[in-house]
Structure 1
Amino acid sequence: MTSELNSKEATLKFLETTDFYELIFMANSERKKYKKNKIELCAIVNAKSGACPEDCSFCSQSLRWKTHAPAYPLMDKYEILKRALEAKNYKVKRFSIVISGIKPSKQEMKKIAEAIETIAKNGIKPCASLGLLNYDEISYLKDYGLQRLHCNIETSEDFFPKICTTHSFLDKVRTLEAAKKAEVSVCSGGVFGMGETWKDRVDMAYFLKEFNVDSVPINFLTPIKGTPLESQPVLSPLEALKIIAMFRLILPDKDIRICGGRPLLGEFASWIFISGANALMTGDYLTTHGRSYNDDLKFVENHGLEVDHVVP
């Protein structure tokens, strides 16, 4: 990491005064130093959708917003495994089970654990995004093969109450702490372009650095009709790339994973790797379409990079 980034205040000044292309050059150098030319692919299944009682302002699955998001109960483990095996065929290394709601019921936890077990037995790294779990719940899933828990902090602690009031930033932190205690890999990032400032972004990056997360998913807001953020202006491609570069420079040895909102980059989509990203979520997202597995494999190959898909 460049010596200029030794505090939040210094980082903000650095971001304000450094030429965009110089910033990108530094981020790309850090990516190559720590991640070589390997790109990791992950995919998800929206295993339980909609009917969520929470009020996250960016999410189409909340009961509080009038959207067209699908609503259905938890998939059975065979359907989840089918999706995971399809992803594996396209060099996807990690596959995550994602559900709506604050956390699974006891009955749902058992079904999810069984699905995790079948995924692990088929040579795929199982991940899960299941809301606000505690230590016992995470340990239970780990016994079935859970390798990584995903729980986004979404934004800075200061900005968080402006996007969600039904749970707190601290609730998120407790889940991350429980995952660490259970010795499960941690994936945590958030959504950008919700109205947060650069200070919020820097605060968030330093929190994740201090917490020593393993993977940082970066999502760019796609305003969804019916949500409170439906009229929020989208980020410019260059601002989005600058966010990626900042996270690489602050967390130089971590996986910087580009997830939702990639289409807003337009003709600059090919810049995500030279901006510091070394991982992609491929396939569809929760309630919006992504890029096909084939398209992303070609995307990585066309950049002279290699997909890291070997499962130890």
Structure 2
Amino acid sequence: MFNYFDDLARRQLSGATLTRDEALAVLTSTDEQLLEVVAAAARLRRAHFGNSVKVNYLVNLKSGLCPEDCTYCSQRLGSAAQILKYTWLKPEEAVAQAATGIRAGASRVCLVASGKSPSDRDVDRVAGLVSELKSEHPDVEVCACLGILKDGQAGRLKDAGADAYNHNLNTSEAMYSQICSTHEYSDRVRTVEQAKEVGLSPCSGLIVGMGESDEQLIDAVFALRALSSESIPVNFLMPFDGTPLEGTWLLTPAHCLRILALVRFACPDTELRMAGGREMHLRTLQPLALHVANSLFLGDYLTSEGQEAVADLDMIAENGFVVLGRTQPDELGADDAGTSPGGPLAIRRRGAGTAMAPNA
């Protein structure tokens, strides 16, 4: 029997480029077709990434206190979300937080700081952290995420040893003014291009579930393809109380899988990361999503808690995958430790900026 999505994967493996009509077919596929969609996307994932899962670890260098008005963000200007708020971590604390994630299996550390655009002093501060991390962990990739860059700042991070720079497009150009008024979509595109120009690996992705149409979602994914983003994190909206998108629950687990599959079909050989909000939106379909995405964040996010790190590592091993950089599956947790995915959003109270141990 002819399988449209399997044939689509075959054509992608032969070098075809996903069209808008094909992208829409993935997004509008039925629940009866869901496993066909996932199996076809999994062919592409396996062809380019085998059975490995890249583990990434976030360090929130400073939390809250942002002058931007992005409607989705708990750190935005005027946010009433009860998140941790602190200014820059001390260098030794930031390095120690990163080391925790590395010991748990992370091969990339993401250094993130809230704000519209870093000052030159901020860039120098982060460049020092990058240099120290690369000195202590030379095989670990370091990605910086500091906002909209000014001329020369990307080069400073590259010279310090940074491997990548993250700046998400988040949504389509047509929708951008609905989610932010303090900067423009073009500012984000320009920052990604600046990173590319100096040799930093461009990391740029999405936030889905903000009310975007299928057409707008396709626009955003195709824009990432045009930018040659080498790492695409897909974030699923976490509708924090105290933000304009509070109470916005538009995603189903099945549609989250379709969105991941769309990105995989559009960018077959690109690192695809299931990122923030995966626990509450994919829920029990997280293991199935690993057959489409080849990357995830371990432990906690910027201002919310993720599922227990041991549960993530167990999930990877139980589904026949190995952590990138390791030749054998990790030993499963003896007591099946970990929280059930899909519970209420939990504000982060541990790790960076606190006296409590991080989740890794």
For Structure 1 versus Structure 2, the TM-score category normalised by the shorter chain is over 0.9
The answer to whether the Cα contact below 8 Å between 1:87 and 1:293 also exists between their aligned partners in 2 is no
Distance across 2 between alignment mates of 1:64 and 1:255? 34
For residue 63 of structure 1, the aligned residue among 69, 77, 94 is 77
How many residue pairs are counted as aligned between the two chains?
309
- Give 1:82's aligned residue: 96
Moved more, 198-207 or 147-156: 198-207
Q: Please give the residue correspondences for 1:193-208 in structure 2 after superposition, counting only pairs within 5 Å.
A: 193-208=209-224
Distance (Å, rounded) in 2 between the aligned partners of 1:307 and 1:289 = 21
2:20 aligned residue: 8
1:22 paired residue number? 36
Match of 2:199 in 1: 183
TM-aligned CA deviation for residue 38 of structure 1: 0.7
Alignment match of 1:268 (pick from 285, 298, 311) = 285
CA distance in 2, matches of 1:247, 1:279: 13
- Local SS of the residue matching 2:37: helix
Instruction: Give the alignment's Cα RMSD to 1 decimal.
Output: 1.6
Moved more, 148-157 or 262-271: 262-271
Amino acid at match of 1:160: Y
CA distance in structure 1 between the partners assigned to 2:273 and 2:23 by the alignment: 21
Written as runs of structure 1 = structure 2, the 5 A alignment for 1:32-181 is 32-123=46-137, 124-181=140-197
Structure 2-normalised TM-score? 0.83
The residue type equivalent to 2:165 in the other structure is L
- 1:249 paired residue number: 265
- Which consecutive unaligned segments of at least 5 residues does structure 1 have? none
Does the 8 Å contact 2:57/2:106 carry over to 1?
yes
Q: CA deviation at 1:17?
A: 5.0
* 1:51 counterpart letter in structure 2: L
Percent same amino acid at aligned positions? 33
Q: d(CA) in 1 for partners of 2:17 and 2:197?
A: 29
Confirm or deny: 8 A CA contact 2:27 2:255 kept in the other structure.
Answer: no
Question: In 2, distance between residues paired with 1:131 and 1:14?
Answer: 32
Equivalent residue letter for 1:9: D
Write the distance in 2 (CA, Å) between the matches of 1:134 and 1:106: 9
Q: Work out the CA distance in 2 between the residues paired with 1:6 and 1:213.
A: 16
- Gap regions ≥5 residues in structure 2: 1-7, 327-360
Tell me, yes or no, if the aligned pair for 1:27 and 1:248 is still in contact at 8 Å: yes
Once the 2 structures are TM-superposed, how far is the Cα of residue 220 of structure 1 from its aligned partner? Answer: 0.6
- Contact 2:18–2:266 (Cα < 8 Å) also in 1: no
- With over 3 angstroms needed to count, the CA separation of the structure-2 counterparts of 1:109 and 1:306, relative to structure 1, is same
Which position in structure 1 is the counterpart of 2:245? Answer: 229
CA distance in 2, matches of 1:188, 1:226: 26
* Structure with higher RCO (Cα < 8 A, 6+ apart): 1
Instruction: Give distance in 2, aligned partners of 1:27 and 1:297.
Output: 22
Q: Deviations over 1:35-79 (max 9, x none)?
A: 110100001111111111101001010122222122211112111
Residue 305 of structure 2 aligns to a residue whose secondary structure is: coil
Structure 1 stretches of at least 4 aligned residues deviating more than 4 Å after TM superposition = none
Cα gap change, 1:17/1:113 in structure 2, threshold over 3 Å: closer, same or farther?
A: closer
Equivalent residues of 1:135, 1:181 under 8 A apart: no
**Cα separation, partners in 2 of 1:82 and 1:32, compared to 1, 3 Å:** same
Contact 2:118 2:148 in 1 (8 A): no
Q: TM-score, normalised by structure 1?
A: 0.95
Structure 2 distance, partners of 1:252, 1:260, is: 21
Q: 2:294 aligns with which of 265, 278, 281?
A: 278
Larger of the two Rg values belongs to structure: 2
Task: Read off the aligned partner of 1:232 and give its amino acid letter.
Answer: T
> What displacement does 1:137 show?
0.1
